[in-house]
């Protein structure tokens, strides 16, 4: 019996240099074809199971315009959800606005996962993302809180020459946003990413244990930052396997053994038709 489903939206308005997920720069001519293929795949494989979790990720789901989002959610109405469901929608913080949040709320989304990654301008630019200052980020998060009380934000660490002081400041800034879930990911040089293609050499490339140790110093030291982070310790799960990652998987991924991923697997044919 399927308990969870993942829906992949591969389109992005901008390609982050570290990203190894299936994605492409958004081309409006492709979106409708992709959504049609996605709908066909769901109808073919979904057998009416009642889901605990539904997760829409990418790519960048918020790259879709209003018309495209309306079509997406009309397709997803086929899924049956239990009374205590978790329905996650990934969002680029740049795309967040009140109209979008109202739309998601009206379509039963109850969890927002935001790709924030960093407050540090030099690292945001290194990742080929658009920089927002602390006030702009705080305003965006506060707007999300107006409509959602289940919010995740992502932080990437372990970038070349990142100092412990910088990392402490990042963690402090993330905690001050006062959301109920923070996911931390070490920078990984994956094949077929721009960073790997450009032969970027991180200071700690291949030494994930060392990078992990730097973060663990913050977790176990007795300063104010570690004290604040300890208060959120129930929101994290330490993974010993490399790449190191402090991350509490949402219920969608805890139930991966009973999950189904809808990827529009006929993507190549649908885009070339």
> Shortest CA distance to 264 belongs to which of 102, 24, 19, 95?
24
The more confident residue out of 125 and 78 is 78
Is the pLDDT at 21 greater than 80? The verdict is no
Q: Which residues contact 234 (CB under 8 A, 6 or more apart)?
A: 248
The more confident residue out of 172 and 266 is 172
Query: With contact defined as beta carbons under 8 Å apart, do 101 and 27 qualify?
Result: no
Using DSSP bridges, classify how beta strands 24-25 and 11-12 pair: parallel, antiparallel or unpaired.
Answer: parallel
Residue 121's pLDDT is 93
Average pLDDT of the chain?
Answer: 77
In tens, the pLDDT along 182-225 reads: 888 877 776 676 666 665 655 444 444 444 455 555 544 444 44
Residue 225's pLDDT is 44
Residue 262's pLDDT is 59
In tens, the pLDDT along 216-261 reads: 555 444 444 444 443 333 333 333 333 332 333 333 333 333 445 6
The more confident residue out of 118 and 200 is 118
> Shortest CA distance to 260 belongs to which of 81, 54, 36?
54
Residue 41's pLDDT is 92
Residue 159's pLDDT is 78
Residue 260's pLDDT is 56
How far apart CA 211 and CA 30 sit, in angstroms, is 40
Mean pLDDT of 73-96: 96
Residue 133's pLDDT is 96
Residue 187's pLDDT is 75
Q: Phi/psi of residue 183, each to 5°?
A: -110, 130
């Amino acid at each position: 019996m399927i308990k969870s489903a993942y829906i992949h939206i591969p389109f992005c308005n901008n390609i982050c240099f570290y990203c190894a997920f299936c994605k492409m720069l958004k081309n409006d001519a492709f979106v409708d074809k992709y959504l049609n293929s996605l709908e066909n795949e769901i109808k073919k494989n979904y057998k009416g199971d009642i889901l605990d979790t539904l997760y829409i990720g990418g790519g960048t789901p918020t790259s879709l315009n209003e018309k495209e989002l309306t079509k997406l959610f009309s397709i997803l109405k086929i899924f049956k959800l239990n009374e205590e469901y978790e329905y996650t929608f990934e969002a680029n913080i740049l795309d967040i606005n009140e109209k979008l949040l109202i739309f998601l709320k009206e379509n039963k989304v109850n969890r927002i996962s935001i790709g924030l990654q960093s407050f540090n301008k030099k690292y945001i630019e290194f990742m080929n993302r658009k920089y927002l200052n602390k006030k702009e980020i705080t305003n965006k998060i506060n707007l999300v809180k107006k409509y959602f009380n289940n919010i995740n934000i992502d932080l990437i660490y372990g970038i070349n020459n990142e100092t412990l002081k910088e990392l402490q400041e990042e963690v402090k800034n993330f905690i001050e946003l006062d959301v109920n879930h923070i996911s931390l990911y070490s920078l990984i040089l994956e094949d077929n990413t721009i960073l790997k293609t450009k032969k970027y050499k991180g200071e700690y490339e291949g030494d994930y244990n060392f990078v992990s140790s730097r973060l663990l110093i913050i977790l176990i030291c007795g300063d104010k930052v570690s004290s604040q982070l300890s208060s959120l310790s129930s929101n994290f799960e330490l993974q010993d396997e490399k790449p190191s990652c402090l991350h509490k998987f949402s219920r969608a991924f805890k139930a991966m053994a009973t999950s189904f991923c809808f990827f529009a697997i006929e993507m190549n044919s649908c885009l070339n038709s």
